[in-house]
Amino acid sequence: MPNWLLPEHIADVLPSEARKIEELRRLMLDNFRLYGYELVMPPLLEYVESLMTGAGQDTELRTFKLVDQISGRMLGLRADMTTQVARIDAHLLNRASVTRLCYAGSVLHTRPSGLHTTREPLQIGAEIYGHAGLEADAEIQELALASLALAGFTDVRLDLSHVGVLRAILAEDANAAKDEAALYLLLRAKDVPGLELQTAGYAPAARAALLALPNLYGDVDVLKRAREVLPELPGISKALAELAALAATADNPATGREVAIDLADLRGYQYESGAMFAVYVPGLPNAVLRGGRYDHVGEAFGRARPATGFSMDLRELARLLPTAERKHSIRAPWGNAPELKDKIAELRKAGEVVIQSLPGHSNEQDEFECDRALVLDDSGSNWILKNLG
């Protein structure tokens, strides 16, 4: 086997694709700042105990582990930056007021999340800490949709769900509560036959509610159906009211945005604590962005804080965008003449790409198209731009 081959689902990013990803990263981080979000940069690896604090079983399975040769303790390469940012808020910043943080960086997964996905996503996201009201959820939802719109994705579908519905049902039946992990997997897969077998010994009301959840998906009218078929429990009523409010906030016919409800979409259930959302775009079967409320994660770091946020993979998003047009640039000769150097510096300061041709070589770039050349005029004393045919 050639020693230059990379592991499966790990790939180099070549110039034109790298430029798309970097431009998206800059665009979104700059937009986050306009909303008042401060950038943080958590480390790529931490002690496993810290990385796993407040995270679900999925995160532990996705985390690469290695032994620290200094301390002898087990280290983990981050699979998700959300809990790292929660640790920064809880321990390092330690603010009493609302804190808005954003981040961007590579994460590593032991296994790919899909057939054609990378094991090294470039995760970007934003989080709000310190406000338990729906206003924070609405802001995060708005920022997520605005971020995708900046990338050119306006024809999107927003799916809303809420962990409070399932937890309220489980609280009414001890047998169901003991099977929480199994029920989570069955509901996530919308496996109705499996649910029928699993719930056979449950209380009738809990069983009927659990069997109803896989079919409670569609437009916002699903909330009306949910109120009719689900038991009248305070936790369910609160969850459905919150979903109705968030759906109303996002519903804007002018954008062409579709808002949907899916009460069985429980991805992230293990550490989420309230409303959750996923955004789908044309050309990708899975969600391009996920977010939600996770109030209890900070408590695992010794300081309970209301929290909500979202994240997405920039590499996956960039794959959906068309290949960027080659940037017009200027070809210049190599030389040390002060007049030539001054002219090149002047052009670059004005935002022009100037590529100097090294002696004996032609220019080959994926990103740039030299449509002009820097040449001496007829007098041989002034450097001018000449259009190339």
Query: Per residue in 341-377, pLDDT tens?
Result: 999 999 999 999 999 998 888 777 778 889 999 999 9
Separation between Cα atoms, residue 71 and residue 93, nearest integer Å:
26
275 or 252, higher pLDDT? 275
Indicate whether 327 pLDDT > 90. no
Q: Is the dihedral of CA 323, 327, 332, 336 positive or negative?
A: negative
Separation between Cα atoms, residue 146 and residue 127, nearest integer Å:
15
Query: Per residue in 282-316, pLDDT tens?
Result: 888 889 999 999 988 777 777 788 999 999 999 99
Q: Give the pLDDT mean for 16-44.
A: 96
Separation between Cα atoms, residue 247 and residue 226, nearest integer Å:
15
The per-residue pLDDT for 374 is 94
Share of the chain above pLDDT 90, in %: 71
The 3-state DSSP class for residue 280 equals strand
The per-residue pLDDT for 233 is 95
DSSP notation for 286-311: S-SEEEEE-TTTGGGGT----EEEEE
The per-residue pLDDT for 366 is 76
The per-residue pLDDT for 254 is 61
Separation between Cα atoms, residue 176 and residue 87, nearest integer Å:
32
Q: Give the pLDDT mean for 227-236.
A: 95
Query: Per residue in 176-199, pLDDT tens?
Result: 999 998 998 899 899 999 999 999
The per-residue pLDDT for 227 is 96
Q: Give the pLDDT mean for 318-330.
A: 87
Residue 3 DSSP one-character state:
T
Q: C-alpha angle with apex 116: 113 to 118, nearest 5 degrees?
A: 60
CB distance 123 to 206 below 8 Å: no
CB burial of residue 176 (10 Å; 0-12, 13-18, 19+): buried
Separation between Cα atoms, residue 365 and residue 368, nearest integer Å:
6
Residue 93 DSSP one-character state:
I
Share of the chain above pLDDT 70, in %: 97
CA 79 to chain centre: 12
Indicate whether 47 pLDDT > 90. yes
The per-residue pLDDT for 269 is 63
Indicate whether 256 pLDDT > 70. no
Q: List all residues 6 or more positions away from 67 whose beta carbon is below 8 Å from its beta carbon.
A: 73, 74, 75
Query: Per residue in 50-100, pLDDT tens?
Result: 888 767 677 888 999 999 999 999 999 999 999 999 999 988 898 989 999
The per-residue pLDDT for 46 is 94
- 230, 320, 248, 239: which is closest to 280 by C-alpha? 320
Q: List all residues 6 or more positions away from 15 whose beta carbon is below 8 Å from its beta carbon.
A: 365, 366, 367
The 3-state DSSP class for residue 46 equals strand
